[in-house]
């Protein structure tokens, strides 16, 4: 059955979701008002903010910061509040700054997260072996031509890990983190690869608004970075599915 078009266009949805950050604003669209959707800007999310704080270190510790990003995302993006002192970006970065053997020992016992999309995709033993090696390879190049190329590099380096579609999603989060946190610069950030949910969101936009829409064209029209458009398309798909009667979970 064809999905019905919801009242909010993609651009209007992004604007309305952003307005909901103001606690005094009461949206007439209750799923947005009651926090059923992620922030449109990844750097407004709690885990991303924790990661930004934890990795704001001297440039000489760049490889350690990259290691922390890899470990956090592949472990399922655990929050610091889940296991204070043991879980989250701050704890991971603290251990990433230690000797490699100590960091590996920590990763073999670190708390993982089982939240749906962000569920951990690599077992602890394999992760402890892969992260230092992959961080070293990523740290050798301080620049990537595009976000897509950076994503493909991360995905290729984790290529012998399990996880299927979730591995692609986690690798995309890592690529966006590396760029957002200035750990790897991107020459042309006008485009961004799409996750499964983002692809569905893009299909809605092309069906109802602009048949030739791209991440780059939406970024230019709405005035948001490409990686924010990627995140927002995924959330827009949730909004469309909610409007058509599908149950969604509160974040």
* pLDDT attached to residue 41: 79
Q: Are residues 219 and 156 in the same domain?
A: no
Q: Are residues 175 and 199 in the same domain?
A: no
* pLDDT attached to residue 33: 66
Q: Are residues 156 and 54 in the same domain?
A: yes
Q: Are residues 52 and 125 in the same domain?
A: yes
Q: Are residues 60 and 184 in the same domain?
A: yes
* pLDDT attached to residue 104: 95
* pLDDT attached to residue 121: 81
Residue pair 192/229 in contact (Cβ under 8 Å)? The answer is: yes
- For residue 184, being part of any structural domain is answered with yes
Q: Are residues 106 and 135 in the same domain?
A: yes
**How many angstroms separate the first and last alpha carbons of the chain?**
28
The domain in which residue 18 lies consists of 10-36+191-243
Choose one of 188, 215, 235: the last residue of a domain.
188
Q: Return the closest-CA partner of residue 13 out of 34, 40, 35.
A: 40
Q: Are residues 199 and 176 in the same domain?
A: no
Q: Are residues 197 and 238 in the same domain?
A: yes
- For residue 97, being part of any structural domain is answered with yes
* pLDDT attached to residue 250: 58
- For residue 173, being part of any structural domain is answered with yes
Q: Are residues 111 and 195 in the same domain?
A: no
* pLDDT attached to residue 125: 92
Q: Are residues 148 and 200 in the same domain?
A: no
Q: Are residues 67 and 171 in the same domain?
A: yes
Choose one of 143, 165, 188: the last residue of a domain.
188
Instruction: Read off the tokens for 22.
Output: 């103001």
Residues of the chain falling short of pLDDT 50: none
Q: How many domains does the chain have?
A: 2
Q: Are residues 64 and 177 in the same domain?
A: yes
* pLDDT attached to residue 76: 87
Opening angle at CA 231, ends 54 and 94, nearest 5: 10
């Amino acid at each position: 059955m064809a999905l019905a078009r919801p009242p909010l266009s993609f651009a209007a949805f992004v604007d309305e979701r952003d307005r909901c950050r103001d606690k005094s604003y009461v949206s007439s669209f209750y799923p947005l008002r009651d926090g059923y959707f992620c922030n449109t800007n990844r750097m407004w999310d709690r885990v991303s903010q924790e990661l930004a704080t934890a990795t704001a270190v001297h440039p000489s510790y760049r490889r350690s910061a990259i290691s922390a990003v890899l470990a956090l995302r592949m472990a399922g993006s655990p929050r610091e509040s889940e296991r204070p002192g043991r879980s989250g970006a701050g704890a991971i970065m603290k251990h990433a700054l230690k000797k490699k053997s100590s960091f590996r020992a920590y990763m073999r016992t670190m708390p993982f997260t089982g939240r749906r999309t962000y569920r951990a995709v690599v077992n602890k033993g394999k992760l402890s072996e892969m992260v230092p090696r992959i961080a070293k390879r990523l740290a050798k190049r301080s620049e990537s031509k595009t976000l897509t190329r950076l994503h493909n590099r991360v995905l290729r380096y984790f290529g012998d890990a399990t996880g299927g579609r979730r591995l692609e999603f986690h690798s995309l989060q890592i690529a966006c983190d590396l760029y957002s946190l200035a750990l790897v610069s991107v020459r042309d950030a006008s485009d961004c690869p799409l996750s499964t949910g983002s692809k569905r969101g893009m299909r809605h936009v092309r069906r109802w608004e602009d048949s030739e829409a791209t991440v780059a064209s939406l970024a230019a029209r709405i005035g948001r970075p490409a990686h924010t458009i990627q995140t927002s398309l995924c959330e827009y798909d949730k909004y469309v599915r909610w409007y058509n009667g599908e149950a969604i979970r509160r974040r």
